[in-house]
Structure 1
Amino acid sequence: MKKYIILVCLISIFSCKKVGKKNGKLKVVTTTTMITDLVKNIGGDKIDVQGLMGAGVDPHLYKASEGDVGKLFNADVIVYNGLHLEGKLEDVFEKMRQQNKKTIAASDALDPAILIGSEYFASNYDPHIWFDITNWELITQYITDKFCELDAENSETYKTNGADYLKTLASLKLAITEQVNSLPVARRILVTAHDAFNYFGNEFQFNVVGLQGLSTATEAGVKDVQRLASFIEEKNVKAIFIESSVPKRTVEALQEAVRAKGKEVVIGGTLYSDALGSAGTAEATYVGMYKHNVKIIVSSLK
Structure 2
Amino acid sequence: MHHPKPRAVRLAAAVIALASVTACGSTSAADSGASDKGGKLKVVATTTQVADFVRVIGGDRVVVTQLVKSNASPHEYEPTPDVIQAIGQAQLLVKNGVGLEDDWLGKTVQTSGFRGQTVDTSADVKLRQGEGEETGKPVDDPHIWHNPENANIMCAAVEKALAGADPAHKSGYEQRFTEYAAKLDTLDKDIERQINSLPEDGRKLVTNHDAFGYYVDRYHLTFVGSVIPDFSDQAELSGSQLDSLVKKIKDEKVKAVFGESSLPPKTAKTIADEAGVKVVAGGGSLYGDSLGPEGSAGDTYLKSEEFNTKTIVGALK
Kindly indicate whether the alpha-carbon contact (under 8 Å) linking 2:87 and 2:114 is maintained by their aligned counterparts in 1.
no
Instruction: Report the AA paired with residue 221 of structure 1.
Output: S
Residue 72 (str. 1) matches residue 79 (str. 2): no
Residue 129 (str. 1) matches residue 144 (str. 2): yes
- What is the aligned length? 293
Return the match for 2:173 from 158, 163, 166: 158
Instruction: Report the AA paired with residue 235 of structure 1.
Output: E
CA gap 1:20/1:167 in 2 versus in 1, 3 angstroms? same
Deviation at residue 72 of structure 1 after TM alignment: 1.0
Kindly indicate whether the alpha-carbon contact (under 8 Å) linking 1:20 and 1:76 is maintained by their aligned counterparts in 2.
no
Q: Secondary structure at the match of 2:139?
A: coil
> Which segment drifts farther, 221-230 or 84-93?
84-93
Instruction: Report the AA paired with residue 140 of structure 1.
Output: C
Q: Please, what TM-score do these two structures have when normalized by structure 1?
A: 0.88
Runs of 5+ in structure 2 lacking a partner? 1-7, 22-33
CA gap 1:214/1:49 in 2 versus in 1, 3 angstroms? same
Kindly indicate whether the alpha-carbon contact (under 8 Å) linking 1:63 and 1:88 is maintained by their aligned counterparts in 2.
no
Residue 227 (str. 1) matches residue 234 (str. 2): no
Matching residue of 1:176: 191
CA distance in 2, matches of 1:21, 1:32: 21
Matching residue of 2:156: 141
Kindly indicate whether the alpha-carbon contact (under 8 Å) linking 1:42 and 1:158 is maintained by their aligned counterparts in 2.
yes
Matching residue of 2:271: 254
Cα deviation 1:64-114 (Å, max 9, x = unaligned): 122211111111111111112124323336627985332111111324xx4
Q: Secondary structure at the match of 1:190?
A: strand
Matching residue of 2:259: 242
Kindly indicate whether the alpha-carbon contact (under 8 Å) linking 1:255 and 1:265 is maintained by their aligned counterparts in 2.
yes
Q: Secondary structure at the match of 1:108?
A: coil
Which ranges of 4 or more aligned residues in structure 1 deviate by more than 4 Å?
6-14, 96-99, 120-123
CA distance in 2, matches of 1:266, 1:217: 21
Cα deviation 1:243-298 (Å, max 9, x = unaligned): 0001101101212322xxxx444437410001111202341011100000000101
CA distance in 2, matches of 1:282, 1:88: 29
Matching residue of 1:119: 132
CA gap 1:65/1:99 in 2 versus in 1, 3 angstroms? closer
CA distance in 2, matches of 1:93, 1:82: 15
Kindly indicate whether the alpha-carbon contact (under 8 Å) linking 1:97 and 1:103 is maintained by their aligned counterparts in 2.
no
Kindly indicate whether the alpha-carbon contact (under 8 Å) linking 1:117 and 1:124 is maintained by their aligned counterparts in 2.
yes
Deviation at residue 159 of structure 1 after TM alignment: 0.5
Matching residue of 2:315: 300
CA gap 1:224/1:66 in 2 versus in 1, 3 angstroms? farther
Kindly indicate whether the alpha-carbon contact (under 8 Å) linking 1:211 and 1:224 is maintained by their aligned counterparts in 2.
no
CA distance in 1, matches of 2:308, 2:98: 23
Matching residue of 2:302: 287
Deviation at residue 120 of structure 1 after TM alignment: 5.4
Return the match for 2:59 from 44, 66, 70: 44
Instruction: Report the AA paired with residue 232 of structure 1.
Output: I
Instruction: Report the AA paired with residue 140 of structure 2.
Output: Y
CA distance in 2, matches of 1:199, 1:121: 22
Deviation at residue 6 of structure 1 after TM alignment: 4.6
Q: Please tell me the root mean square deviation across aligned C-alpha atoms, in Å.
A: 2.7
Q: Please, what TM-score do these two structures have when normalized by structure 2?
A: 0.84
Q: Secondary structure at the match of 2:257?
A: strand
Matching residue of 1:57: 72
Residue 107 (str. 1) matches residue 126 (str. 2): no
Kindly indicate whether the alpha-carbon contact (under 8 Å) linking 1:193 and 1:211 is maintained by their aligned counterparts in 2.
yes
Q: Secondary structure at the match of 2:293?
A: coil
Q: Secondary structure at the match of 1:104?
A: strand
